[in-house]
Structure formats: structure tokens, C-alpha cells
Amino acid sequence: MDTLTRKTFTTSRDLTYTYYYHAGTNPALPTLLLQHGFPDDHNLWAPVLPYLLELSNSIIAPDLLGYGGTSKPTDPQKYDSKGMTTDLIEIIDHEKIQNIVSIGHDWGAFLAGRMWLWHPDRVVAVIILNVAYSPPSMEPFNLAKVNDLMEKFTGLPRFSYWEPFISDYGAKLLEDNLETVYTGIYGGGNAMEDLLCHKGALERSIREGKPMPVKAYAESPALKEEWISRFRRDGFTGPLNWYKAQAANHHYNVEKDIPKDRFPITVPVLFIGASKDPVCLTQNIYMGQQAGVLPDLKVEEVDSGHWQTLEVPEKTGPAMKKWLSEKEGVLGKAKM
């Protein structure tokens, strides 16, 4: 990300964000807003950045709330979707940007959709990686119910790993076992499914403290050193608050009164799934399409695990670039 300029901005909620900015060559085009997920920071996008820099768009890649150089409030309520999207809009306003393509991976994909939900006048297209768009729920979130439904319809309780994540001891558990957590998250073979999609498996593995083989990209000493150093410095309280905000229904509380006619994302949407992601299944995106909330949807899938920008940037980057290039004529004229 060395080609981007590091900046900071303090929002009206008195939260300071660090973000990285590139001024494109065509100001008529929307800015690409890159929103990372758990447990990443702006560097998630570094492997695909060369492809995006070939476009004429400006780029903003923030460290999202709880991560990297950005504030890390300990109160999960600070992480509700309305507050966080407003933070990002204030950064966009500060940069005098009108329109954006809202792009996200993992929890960043959730936020990318919420940028449309809360600020549809600023979003001209959406790109989401791995995590399918889900409109606001009509009832409070219940983790046990969600896992029961997942097990019924997909064969596994795929959110089992949330249990330690939303516990009072979750952050300390991860912080005390960084080496094991790193190898578990980026493990090769069926590690992700074995650890995340079975009740009690993740916590048991972490407490046993047995590192496992990782995927080829995670063998990078630089990636591992940066990751472990970052969480030794910053901890996991902020990142896990994204899960706690959902579990405590902070999103539900601010979204429950949004009119249903605002749920559909009526601008173009690109979804890039990963065929080897056992938690975020590509098939989930079709539920939104069938429900009518994704009327202009393009679906791609890459042969990768969950962190596709790290594992197969040579597939994900060109897919993003190609779609954006094809849409350039439409996006350049949108909401001028």
C-alpha cells in the first residue's frame, strides 16, 4: 500500500480513523471504498491493489473501527451499522468525494451493503467478497437459532466459532495464543471448517496450543510477523466487538425501523465467492437474489479459501477490475 497516502480524520463521534488514499486520474468516476473484515486491516487489499490502480478511480482504504491505526472503542454499541457508515461518509465528505463504489470482504462486506442501506445517495455500485448481502432482520439476532438453522439447511453449525468470540474471555483467549490463532485462521486443508464450524472446536484447539500447517500465502514470514505484532500491540477487543455488536442486537436496534422498500440494492452488485470457504457459502448470495433485494447482480467464484485477496489475488483482482471497467460508462454518469 506504499503508493497510497496515509491520512487520519476524527469523526463527529470523536473516533479517529486512519485511511489510505489514492487520487485517480478521472474525477468523474466514483471512488473505490475498500472495507476489510476480520481480523485484517487496510493491508488486506494490498495484493489486489495493482489491478485497481490500473483503473482511473480514486481509492480509499481505511482501517475500520477497532483495527490498525483507527480508534478501538471497548463498547460494542459503538460498532452499530449506522454509526460506522456515518463515520465513513464523514471521511468521504472530508475528501470532497461525491460517489463511491462500496467494496468489502467479510465484515467489510456487511458494511459495504450497509453503506448502501444508510447512504444510497452516495453509492453507485457494490462489490462484496465472500459474505452475501442480507437485508435488516425482522427479529433480533439469536446465535443458537442461527446455528440450528445452518445445521438444518447446510449440515453444519457454521457460526460455532462465534461462541468464544462473543464471550467475556474471547479477546484474552486469542491474545494469549497468537501463534495458534494465526495457524488456525490461515490453516490449510479443512482447518477452517474443522475449527470454526463445529461446536467447541475452536476454543479447544486454541487451548491445546497446537499450531498447524498453513496455506502457502500464510507461510510468508513478513505476513506472520506483521499479523502477530499487530495483535500483540492492539489486541482483539476491537475486532471481536463487531461480533458482539451483532450478538447484542446493536445493528437490529438501529435498523429495525428502516422501511422495507429501502432493502433492495438497486445499483449494480458484483459478488465474488470463494469455492473453499466453509463458513461463507457462495450459494447464500442467491437467497438475496430470489428475495428481490439484488436485482442487478453478477456472481463470480474463485477457487480459494476465505481470504481470497491474499490467496488468489491474480483471480480476484482481475475479476474486480474487469467488472468495474465494464461498468465505467454507467458509473461515471451516475448521480452526478
Residues 6+ apart with CB under 8 A from 233: none
- What order of strands is seen across the sheet that includes strand 123-129? 5-10, 16-22, 59-62, 31-35, 100-105, 123-129, 269-274, 297-302
For helices 107-118 and 81-94, the axis angle rounded to 10 degrees is 80
Cβ count near 72 (within 10 Å): 19
Helix 178-185, helix 221-234: angle, nearest 10: 130
Q: What are the two backbone dihedrals, phi and then psi, of residue 274, each rounded to the nearest 5 degrees?
A: -125, 120
Helix H or strand E encompassing 238: helix 237-247
Strand partners, 100: 31, 123
E strands in the chain? 5-10, 16-22, 31-35, 59-62, 100-105, 123-129, 269-274, 297-302
The DSSP secondary-structure symbol of 190 reads: T
Give, in order, the Cα–Cα distances in Å from 251 to each of 85, 159, 162, 256.
12, 18, 16, 8
Could you state, in order of their start, the residue ranges of all structural domains in the chain? 5-136+257-331, 143-248
Q: Are 52 and 40 in contact (CB under 8 A)?
A: no
pLDDT of res. 333: 59
pLDDT at residue 336, as a whole number: 44
Closest CA to 51 of 326, 324, 333, 328: 324
**How far is residue 48's CA from residue 100's CA, in Å, rounded to a whole number?**
18
CATH code that applies to domain 5-136+257-331 = 3.40.50.1820
Q: Which residues of the chain have pLDDT under 70?
A: 330, 332-336
